[in-house]
Structure formats: structure tokens, C-alpha cells
Amino acid sequence: MNPGPEEKLLALAGNPNCGKTTLFNAVTGAHQHVGNYPGITVEKKEGFVSLDGRRLRLVDLPGTYSLTAYSLEELVARDFLVQERPSVVINIVDASNLDRNLYLTIQLMELGIPVVIALNMIDAAQSRGIEIDAEELGRRLDLEVVPTVARSGKGKEVLLETVARVASEPREWRPIRISYGPDIDPVLDRMEADILEAGFMIEDFPPRWTALKYLEADEQVLARGDGIDPNLSARLKSRASQVTEHLEKTLASYPEAIIADHRYGFIAALLKDGVVQRTQRGDRLYLSDQLDRVLTNRFFGPVIMMLVLYVVYHFTFDYSEIPVQWLESGFSALGGWVESVLEPGPLRSLLVSGVIDGVGGVMGFVPLILFMFLAIAFLEDTGYLARVAYMLDRVFRTFGLHGSSVMAFIISGGIAGGCAVPGVMATRTLRSSKERVATLLTAPFMNCGAKLPVFAMLIAAFFPGDRPRIMFLLTLLSWTMALLVAKLIRVTILRGPSTPFLLELPPYRLPTFKGLLIHTWERTRQYIQKAGTIILAISIVFWALMSFPGLPESRKASFEAERGAILAVLPAELRESVSDGRMPADLSADLERQWTDARSALDGIDGAEALAALKHSIAGRVGLGLERVTHWCGLDWRTNVALFSGFAAKELIISTLGTSYSMGRPSEDRDLPLSRRLASDPEWSRLKAVAVIIFIMLYAPCIPTVTCIIRESGAWKWGLFSMTFNTLAAFVMAVAVYQGGRWLGLGTGL
């Protein structure tokens, strides 16, 4: 069965009635013969042809629409491709039914099989008013496309020459990676990782393909998997059933349907922009295409996109404002209650300053996160986000990135509220390693769900009347910075050509209310869970770093002496009440004035002592040390400590700032939320807030993202690069804004 050294095995595959057998006969001529394969009743024809001294063995596979195991023909075709490993598969494609026929092509490419497309019946297509740019189609798919007319034999010589050349080329054919959307992709990635780790059937099938078959519940693959590794097979089935259940709940659909939708979406995107021009349409994607004419229109598309983004921010900020205030008041009341039941001491400080003022600041933004996730879930479920990616492709290519980079950016928080970890993982769909590294280095510039509450707090403090507009501008700024940095990287350390753009456009879908709620709740739950676990834990660590070692005894004694001096000049009957802060009810006007003045002086000393202790703490000293450099961009020592904690997770910036302001606060600030405390701090200004926001937007990604970058790029250097380069870029930009603002005289006025 295996071909000899001078013989190349070729397979002909295609849909039924695509002209496959006609082409087979035209190519093989008199040399054809028919043979039965043992054990299978479906017939495969085999023929030979000689070309430049090489013998080509052609096997005509049964006509199939796909490579699933729904029919015997499909099984035969699939088994042959997997077991016989032909040098090239000639995929006969009916040019007049390109959408449907390319469905099989995509599956062949997912198997990582060398493919040459014979664009057959090109004359029939032209007579129906369909014009196909074969060269462009081949460029986008990264394979050879040869127009043919099997009936007249037109194009068969070119086809054979192309096939012979491709069969002899030492090219590595990697399986194509199609995104199947946010519900399936993460599970597919995990299943693929499991399969790779266990070496499960990897000699026969690409790991991602096996994972897909588990999602499609392919009986043949499942039975084979059960025999090879029952434990792993059971685990993969469990993952598949979880995603099936999830899709049923959220989209009232099932994996096969979603997979098919995304494949057709991929094909739809592939055939856009001049690859196919036709005067009549009648396929099932008609409505989506009609909508796309407006929503992805060159002029209206970007305008609508900006409008949608602006509406999302308005919706988020407007509807979350009151619930956020409720939560802030609730945490403030909780802090007051803890202070009233616990005597002063380290535990009270930990609970009030470390937990309630720290983590409470993060939890307070849960409503904002919830509304943002709801809006994003709506855009995602309708299929509009894919259109955004499609429209931005042209812009991205200008900056040396790829169309698929857009999705990685959006997942990372392109609209705000994403996460750089899955964003970095989403770069796996990029074929070019240089484009991929450029994307995974710049995706963390996006405004992820962790940065969002930090920005929201600073905007609430300094731009309370323009919140949606400022967030909209910050989104544009993050994209601009990411693209500029990408361009810089692509023209310096990662120079190379752009690869063709392939992006799936799934059909529009009306989201279900239940599905939106489930998607929104899943993400909000993750935010709350994270705030209640790792953020809480690290907040406590930073509270400790801000509390210890405490003031030396000599300095404590000095503050105590100041207090004693104030109490000493008071009438004896006032000393105790001033000391414990409870004013007696029956004081004369003169005594009441003395009491108030003394108490105010004591509060000042308390505040000064707390501030001195904070500055003397480990974190305080680090913050003050960094201030020598960071004062150029307006960052004070407290902000330095907060930004340092943000390396672990960006939400910690809020909790650390909350803790530091809580520990060194004057008593009259007790009930104020962090945003109000910052707004009333004379060290802060609008200009400083802008500089801090820019620094936070651009500086080093959080540690989980950095480890993900290292893992995905396979090199430590890119993780270290992203930390140092991003921080440097953030510093330069923040200095430019802060010093530029001051030079322009904006100073504290802005």
C-alpha cells in the first residue's frame, strides 16, 4: 500500500457532485483502475499518472461534506487520510458553491494535511455571475489554488504540476487553528494541553483535532481513546459534557452547531473583500451579510463602532453609580462598627485599614464590573465583537500586527473589563511567531478588568462629571499606545512581513436574556472570588509591610510628650474627656472651646504619628526611596507602594492606596471613600491623576500575565522584556504628560 521512493501518493477529496470523479478521469486517463479496499464496502478509485519521471498514485476518495463520523463515506475518507498519509490532498471545490465546499477544506487543514485546491467548475460559477480571485484565496489560506474545468480538462496540467511541486517541497504543514469563540476556545486549549502532555493519539491526529472530536462526541475517536487511555478519555469527555451543558444553558445550542457556525464564519470572512464577487445571494448567512454591509461598512462601520463603545461606557457608569455608592457607604459603616467594638490595636488596624478600607475598595466596584461585563457579554453573544476585529484588521496591518491580534486585544480588555491572560493565550491563532510575540507583548496595554476599578476610582475622584467620556478616551489611548509600541517592535527587534488575514465572522445571533445573565454572573463571580481570596491575602501582606516595624520608642515618646504638653495646660476636669474624645454635655462656652481646640491638636498629633509610622514602615521606606525617581512623573511614595503591589494584581493598587490612606488618615476622613480622600489630598491634582492613570495603563503586566507570556513565547526574555520595557515606556509617557502639563501651566489646576 505504501508508495515507493519515486512514487507520490495523492488523494482526491471533495463534496459529492463537485466534479471530483470527472477530474480524476481527466487526470489519470487510460491508467485508471478500480479497486476495493478490504473490510470496507465503500469504493475508492485508484489511478496512476506519470509526470517528469515521477509516478503519482491518485486515490479518489468518496464524496463527503465533512470529516465527522456521521456516514461511512466520511469514515472511509478520514481513515484513509489518517492512515495512508498522502503526500498531498487535492481538494476539489465547486466554485459555484464555494461556502459549502470550503467547509471540508477547513477540516482537511485542521488535520494538518498538505492541501492543494482545485477550484473546479469555474466556468459554471462565472455563468452564474460569480467571480473568484483564486490567487487571493490561496494567499489567505496559505496554499495553492488552481482554477480547473474538469469536463474540458482545462487547468489539469497546471494542477498536476502544482501538486507534484507541493508534494516535493519540504514544507511543514501545521494544522490550521480556528477560534471557536469564548465558550469553546478555553476548553479546547485545556483539552489540547492534556492531550499533548499525555501524548494521547498524537501520532495519528493533531491534539486540537482530537479535542474537537471529543467536543463533537465523535464515536470512533471516543472509542479509540477509551481503549488507549481510559482515564484521560473520561476526563476529556467530562470537559466536553461541561461545555455542552454550558452552551445549552447560555446559547440554547450545542458544540457541533457552534463549531459549524464558526467554521462557516471563518469561510465568510475568508471570502470577503473581493475574493468572491457575486450579484445574487441565497445562502443562510444572507441576513448577516446584509447587516455587515452597514455595520462593517468602510465609513459607517467605524462610526457605529465608536458609538457602541461610548454607549457601553455610558450604560456602565450611569447604572453602576448608585449601587457603587451604596457599597462604599456599607463598607464605611462596617469600618465604623469595627472601630466601635474593638479597642485600638493591630487587629483593629488590620481589619479596618487592611481588609475593609483595602479590599472593600475593590469590592465596592462590583456593580461597575457587573454592568461592564453585561455590556460586553451582549456584544460578544451577538457576534459584534468579531466585526470590530474585522474592521480593525486594516489598522492593525498598518502597525505590523495581524487581523487575529485584534481578538487578543479585545479579550485582554480592549473595551475594558477583559484579562491579559486569555488575551495572551488567544495569540495562539497567529501563524507568524513575530506577529504573535508582538501581539502578546502589547496586549497587556489594554484596560483589563483589574485596571478598570482603579481608573474608575481615579476618574470618580478627579473627573466626576465626565466619567464615560474619560473612559472612552482612555480606551482609545490604550489602543493607540499598543499599536505604536507594536509598530516600534515590528520595525526594530521583530522585523518581518505580515501574514494573510484570516478571521471568522460568526453569523449574528440574538442573545438570550438567560445567557447574558449567566455570562455576566460567571465573570462577576470570578471578580468577587479573586477579591475575596488572593487580593485579600496580598492586601493583608501589604498592610503588614505598611505597619511594621513601627516607630522607634524615642519617636513615640516625642509624640507622647507633645500630647502631654497639650493636656497639661488644660483645666484638670477636661483632661480625661479630651484624651478619650468624649465631650461632656454640661460644659460652659469657654470650656467647650478649650476642649475642641485641644482635641483638634491631639488629632493633629495622632495623624502626624500615624503618617510618621507609615513612612517608617518597610513599604513606606521603599515608596520614599522610589520617590526620588518617580517624582518626575508626579508619583508620591504612597502611590509608589500601591503601584508596586499592582505587580501581583492590578486591583491591589486600590486596596493598597486605601490601606495607606486609612492608616495615615486624619480622623475627620473616617467616612470618606478613597476617591474623596484622594480628591481632598493637596498632593493630588487632575494632572497627577492623568499621569498616574497613564503609568498604570502601560507599566509592567501583572505576574500571572508575565508567566503566561513566558509560557506562550517559550522564552524568559520576553517576560522580562515586557516587565522592563513596559515600565520604562510607562515612566517616559507619565513624565512627558506630567512635566508637559506643568510646563503648560496646568499644574494643580488640571
Partner 1 sequence: MWQTVVVMLILAVVVVYVARQVIRMVRSKTPVCCGCIGCCGIEEGPSSQEGCEKS
Rounded distance, CA 665 to CA 658, Å? 10
| 89 is a contact residue toward partner 1 (CB under 8 A) | no
Rounded distance, CA 147 to CA 134, Å? 7
| 418 is a contact residue toward partner 1 (CB under 8 A) | yes
6: number of Cβ within 10 Å: 8
Give the range of 77-85, 236-244, 685-693, 735-743 binding partner 1 by CB under 8 A: 236-244
Whether a cis peptide bond, with omega within 30° of 0, leads into 549 is yes
Query: In terms of CB distance, is 193 or 561 closer to partner 1?
Result: 193
Q: Which of 310, 311, 414, 321 is nearest to 368 (CA)?
A: 321
Rounded distance, CA 24 to CA 33, Å? 11
Rounded distance, CA 144 to CA 447, Å? 41
Query: In terms of CB distance, is 109 or 411 closer to partner 1?
Result: 411
Among 4, 227, 345, 465, indicate the residue that binds partner 1 (CB under 8 A): 345
Maximum alpha-carbon separation in the chain: 123
Give the range of 9-17, 111-119, 143-151, 526-534 binding partner 1 by CB under 8 A: 526-534
Q: Is 577 exposed, middle or buried (0-12, 13-18, 19+ CB in 10 A)?
A: middle
Give the range of 31-39, 76-84, 518-526, 676-684 binding partner 1 by CB under 8 A: 518-526
607: number of Cβ within 10 Å: 16
Rounded distance, CA 181 to CA 677, Å? 42
| 566 is a contact residue toward partner 1 (CB under 8 A) | no
Query: In terms of CB distance, is 140 or 246 closer to partner 1?
Result: 246
| 374 is a contact residue toward partner 1 (CB under 8 A) | no
| 252 is a contact residue toward partner 1 (CB under 8 A) | no
Among 126, 398, 529, 748, indicate the residue that binds partner 1 (CB under 8 A): 529
Q: Which of 2, 7, 13, 208 is nearest to 115 (CA)?
A: 13
Q: Is 152 exposed, middle or buried (0-12, 13-18, 19+ CB in 10 A)?
A: exposed
| 708 is a contact residue toward partner 1 (CB under 8 A) | yes
| 376 is a contact residue toward partner 1 (CB under 8 A) | yes
Among 3, 112, 153, 186, indicate the residue that binds partner 1 (CB under 8 A): 186
Give the single-character DSSP code of 431: -
Give the range of 323-331, 531-539, 555-563, 622-630 binding partner 1 by CB under 8 A: 531-539
| 705 is a contact residue toward partner 1 (CB under 8 A) | yes
CA dist 658 → 249, 323, 360, 465, 637 (Å)? 39, 19, 9, 23, 14
| 382 is a contact residue toward partner 1 (CB under 8 A) | no
| 238 is a contact residue toward partner 1 (CB under 8 A) | yes
For 145, phi and psi rounded to 5 degrees? -125, 120
| 704 is a contact residue toward partner 1 (CB under 8 A) | yes
| 237 is a contact residue toward partner 1 (CB under 8 A) | no
| 713 is a contact residue toward partner 1 (CB under 8 A) | no
Q: Which of 689, 686, 693, 656 is nearest to 452 (CA)?
A: 693
Give the range of 7-15, 291-299, 519-527, 717-725 binding partner 1 by CB under 8 A: 519-527
| 424 is a contact residue toward partner 1 (CB under 8 A) | yes
Contacting residues toward partner 1, per CB under 8 A: 182-183, 186-187, 189-190, 193-194, 197, 235, 238-239, 242-243, 246, 342, 345-348, 350, 373, 376, 411, 417-419, 421-422, 424-425, 449-450, 519, 522-523, 526-527, 529-530, 533-534, 537-538, 540-541, 544, 649, 651, 702-705, 707-708, 711-712
